[in-house]
Structure 1
Amino acid sequence: MSEAESGPVFSRPSAHVALIELNRPQSANRLEPQDLEVLRSHIDECESSADVRVLVLAGRGNYFSAGFDLRALADGLRSGVRFDGADSAFEAVANRLDSSKLISIAALNGPVLGGATDLALACDFRMGSSEVFMQMPAAKFGLPLYAGALQRYVSRMGLNHAKRLVFMAERVGAQEMLDMGFLTALVRPSEVMAMALSQAAHLATMPPKNMAALKQVLNASALGEGTAVSQREVLARAFDPEAILQNIAASQAARRKG
């Protein structure tokens, strides 16, 4: 292979933007248990940095990701691991990405399988190419999906689409992924990363405190919790009259120059 495979790779492609790339292309970017630890560590690092506002998640090679390594899953089952409805390591990473104050973009350069579908749904935007397809085969194996994934399937795509994708375990192509809401944009294969980074650069110009508050309440609204007192308080804390006036003045100055 041309490059050594490793856990997820972190880089900073532009101001206020972080890029995390899954780096097991010879294995369809299947995620091993240690990869989940590295991925969560990178997300924590991004969120703790005052300089990072937008996170792009991508996969190197021809796949975005084939999900959790089934060999590791089988080893766990043989060793007596039981399903009790509690958060798994995979769910913990997806939940962490979903709840992050950072705006996130999944750059889907290729197939998205199994748990990787939930990592993509945990992102705020999902940009895919015409070569993308997705499949959630858990039901075929008799494997109950963790609750966070089911919740994201329903909140992003609606109950009917979620039931079809989860129950049927069928392969779905790019245009249908766009139509049902899995993808938020569909571009040419050669443009996926460039468009994701361009969108990230644009999002990074937005006031971060306000963006974080809007994201939190929008996500809560998808679960019917958007008007709760706690969510109203989040919006109230993000209201900064001085910063708003400065942003308006900057926008007007830019229009005059243009």
Structure 2
Amino acid sequence: MSESASVPVLSQPAEHVALIELNRPANANRLEPQDLDALQRHLDECESSQDIRVLILTGRGKYFSAGFDLRALTDDLKSGARSNAGDNAFEAVANRFENTRLIAIAAINGPVLGGATDLALACDFRIGSLDGFMQMPAARFGLPLYAGALQRYVSRMGLNAAKALVLMAERMSAEEMLQAGFLTELAAAGDVLMTAMTKASHLRAMPTKNMGALKAVLNASALGNGTTQRQRDILTAAFQPQLILQNIAASQAARHNG
């Protein structure tokens, strides 16, 4: 199989819903530089389409992802170089998932390791398989993580759980992932993508502009920035009186007819 044939695959399985599948199942869906480039292109395509409102990220095979392929870093270290290009590229992709106007769902179909834990945390909802687990082994190698990942671990999971994950390199079971706040929902093995599609069907019916604004301010609030003038401006720009009136009227009519 060629390298280009192994990069993440983009499809549209339902109206207003895009699906990105990590596509190196024989290699635990480890992400190589060309995969990160492909993810950026797929995000560009999805964001440029007004038809797409919800984005699902999952992996093909038994793993969600084993994170960034460390061979590039290994080659740099052996050659005496110290490059953080891989980290920068990975952080850029994770930031895109966090900041996109689309509502992002991580359908975590199996184990999630290394930097892929941050890619999942950058999504708005994270549905995990009952037989999955997670681990961040970077501390064992003496490998510092980029700041964006650490910030997401703390804001999503809390400081104590983040320290256990990052400093202890502890392996967490699916139940522990849910308890710690890494997962927002658990599903039976094999049902993760179906559960994500059900959630996407609910989310795609929501008013698009308002959802993007709410997401942006909720994320900012997690960092203590939710009441800044910029966040107030985002919410004000999403205020659409006529649409609100129409939706209220439709809801009242449906309740009356029901």
**TM-score category (smaller protein):** over 0.9
What's the counterpart of residue 81 of structure 1? 82
Could you list the per-position Cα deviations for residues 58-96 of structure 1 after superposition, in whole angstroms to 9, with x for gaps in the alignment? 000000000001212212333413459x96000000001
Match of 1:32 in 2: 32
1:28/1:87 CA distance change after superposition, 3 Å: closer
1:140 maps to a residue whose letter is R
Give the partner amino acid of 1:81: R
Task: Confirm or deny: 8 A CA contact 2:58 2:106 kept in the other structure.
Answer: yes
Aligned twin of 2:104? 104
The aligned amino acid for 2:82 is V
Quote how far apart the aligned CAs of 1:222 are: 0.4
Deviations 1:124-150 (A, max 9, x none): 000001111000001100000000000
1:11 aligns with 2:7: no
SS state at 2:186 partner: strand
Measure how far apart 1:170 and its partner are.
1.5
Which segments of structure 1 move beyond 2 Å, counting only runs of 4 or more? 76-79, 81-84, 252-258
> Shift of the alpha carbon at 1:248?
1.2
Q: Does 1:63 align with 2:55?
A: no
Deviations 1:9-51 (A, max 9, x none): 0000111000000010000000010000001110111111100
Shift of 1:5: 5.5
Number of the residue aligned with 2:232: 232
What is the TM-score with the length of structure 2 in the denominator?
0.95
Q: How does 1:136-155 map to 2 (within 5 A)?
A: 136-155=136-155
Q: 1:22 to 1:145 in 2, by over 3 A?
A: same
Q: Residue 5 of structure 1 contacts residue 24 of structure 1 at CA under 8 Å; is this kept in 2? A: no
Identify the range of structure 1 (64-73 vs 202-211) with the bigger mean alpha-carbon deviation.
64-73
Percent of pairs with identical residues:
69
Unaligned runs of 5+ in 2: none
Report what 1:241 is aligned to. 241
Kept after mapping to 2: 8 A contact 1:178/1:186: yes
* Cα 1:114–1:87 shift into 2, 3 Å: closer
In 2, Cα distance between the equivalents of 1:251 and 1:75? 59
Equivalent residues of 1:5, 1:25 under 8 A apart: no
CA distance in 1, matches of 2:250, 2:115: 43
The 5 Å alignment of 1:216-231 reads 216-231=216-231
RMSD: 1.7
Task: Name the SS for the 2:62 alignment partner.
Answer: coil
- Which amino acid in the other structure matches residue 17 of structure 1? V
Query: Given that residues 7 and 22 in structure 1 are in contact (C-alpha distance below 8 angstroms), is that contact kept between their aligned partners in structure 2?
Result: yes
> Counterpart of 1:170 in 2: which secondary structure?
coil
Structure 1 CA distance, aligned partners of 2:107 and 2:138?
A: 23
2: CA distance, partners of 1:67 / 1:237: 37
Q: 2:73·2:83 contact (CA, 8 Å) conserved in 1? A: no
Task: Work out the CA distance in 1 between the residues paired with 2:257 and 2:75.
Answer: 63
CA distance, structure 1, for counterparts of residue 75 and residue 250 of structure 2: 57
- For residue 132 of structure 1, what is the amino acid of its counterpart? G
Secondary structure at 1:117 match in 2: helix
Unpaired stretches in structure 1, ≥5 consecutive residues: none
